[in-house]
Chain A
Amino acid sequence: MSQIWSIGGGKGGTGKSFIAGNLGILLAKEGYKTLLIDVDFGAANLHTIIGISKPERSISDFLNRRLATLDETVLSTPIPNLYLISGAMNNLDIANLTHQQKIKLLRNIARLSYDYILLDIGAGTSFNTIDYFMIADSGIFVTTPEPTSIENVYRFIRSAYFRKIHHVLKAHDFRTLADEAERQNGNATVSNPEILLHVIKELDPEKGDIVEKALRTLDFKLILNQVRKQDNPNIGELICKIIERHLALKMSFIGNLSFDDHVHNSVCKKLPFVDLYPYTRTALDLRECCKNHLSINKDKTSVQYLTA
């Protein structure tokens, strides 16, 4: 069974693809068979980050049934052990997948056999985006130390939280309970989804327990990207603290990545950053994050979202 990591975080331009690509390269170099999947349909560019300018095949070939299995869309990359499924689409309207297409894709991703599968998630908090994020064993949020970016992380987590509750409630066919809870808690802001859980528990303790257990399986990570010298290096820890204190979700801080102009150079040159500038501060930070995340996740067994 592959370990699936998803890399998301709501806001665009925070470095999700950059981090996904470079973590993938680091894992591959550690000797793990690693697959990168670009699920940022419509704005896919993970291939460029790892140095492939024109991917021959992409996920759309699978969704359009030009290729029979998801396995056939896998591209090998210049880096040994690293594979890619590109999300670059020729077809314009395919950026918005139908529900069936999405389920098919998620099921097939879960069946792939690699050591690590990294999902590069797009910006935004649409249901599709959240579902790709939640399929993972470990969801990594990427944010910069800026209010806009942090705001979007909170929005994304809140959406994920409610999506999980919806999902569990629907799966157990007690839609009415959810409606009742939502009615009592109509103006839920991001800070009080715990009250929603409280209401559900009061209405039906048994089902409330199921929801609580499901929420406990959520396991989020946080990487703070583009940290400049003048920024407070503790913001990441503080964000995790707020999430744990007020949403009772597990969230662990992985590390800071320093801001570095070399990143811009490497993207312009269309070459992988950790290969091009292996001794910069940022490359060291990336290695540190990769190591931290591996050790945090070490003895975690795979929890499958879809089998619920």
Chain B
Amino acid sequence: MISAKGKVLVAVEKLRAGYGYRIVIDDVTFYVTEGTFLGVIGPNGSGKSTLLRTIARLIEPRDGVVYIDGKNLLEFSRSELAKKLAVVLTERPSLRLMKVREVVALGRYPYTDILGRLRREDLSRIDEILKLVGVEHLADRYFEELSDGEKQKVLIARALAQEPRVLILDEPTTYLDIRHRVEVLYLLYRVCKTRNIAIIASVHDIDLAAKFCDYVLVLKQGKILQVGPPEEVLQDKVLREVYGPSLNIRYPLLSPELKVPPDERIFIVAGAGTGTPIYRALARAGIGFHTGILYQSDVDYFVSSAITDGVVSVPPYEVPSQEVIDHAMSLIERAKVVIDSGFPTGSLARHNVELLEHAHASGKVVLTLRESSEIGEKVSSIESLLMHVKKHVST
């Protein structure tokens, strides 16, 4: 299913697994080649953790086979598998009085003798990995003193110290701030490419998955809904199917918006991203709106269509037909307040300028965020715009 070049490191075939009598994942088949970062996406309870834990042999499969580097997972000896496959789990170990270097050294477990003595080679590997992960400055700090983001990097370093060919991570970005989320994912991406290993990670941030994962696998109720490059897989239809119709995520922004019902009393003339802050401020205040006329390539279109159904749009760079313009005009005639977002008035926005003129001519309240404008009442900020809108809508 995944058709990148290179050796297949993880082959999952017709896998079925679960706990007790409950089958959590069923009929899951996919392949991951070396140097590939696969993100597993799906809502809570869709079987992401079960899938990852089965591949890591923490749960026995009920049916089907997992091959790691061409060999059946169940045929590996413990230490053999530990040299091939490493994990980073959701549970955060509490490691009192353990220095970062010691935590990473635990990853050398399959390579050390019965007394766990570290040879010179082990020590140089540990140093190398501390540097690779970018935590060498923390090496002599105590693990417990670190921030969540730093801890996660150290746990990734610990896993890499096993020198695995396959790295499995269960929600590696949970609990982290946005900076550390990006750092951790970028780190994984880099490690994946430089060490030519296969990485399988469950990721909750769809937008970040789309940026860092070579492939995404979408799970729904224990079955694969889609596998492929994020650009192909993370389409509106798939997202709606996985997360349900109430979640307002639109490709390609992939970040959810608040939903509000369309309100005929407000019409926003926008474009080129100038409408986005207004849409979000109104949605936050629970105020619906109509907006237009937007090209379907405009960021304003992606955001507003996630927030409301009241969007008048045309295909990218197509001149709006008279029908569309008439529709927008009729919406404006029904509106109490028309907002001018301050969109750039190039020739491709001529129809929107006409809409504003029409609003002015028909005596509507026009609020404008434009620096200098002959049409409408000037408002200086989104905040004061919101106040004006509330005043007009309530009377």
Q: A and B: real partners?
A: no
Q: Which A residues contact B (CB, under 8 angstroms)?
A: none
Q: Which B residues contact A (CB, under 8 angstroms)?
A: none
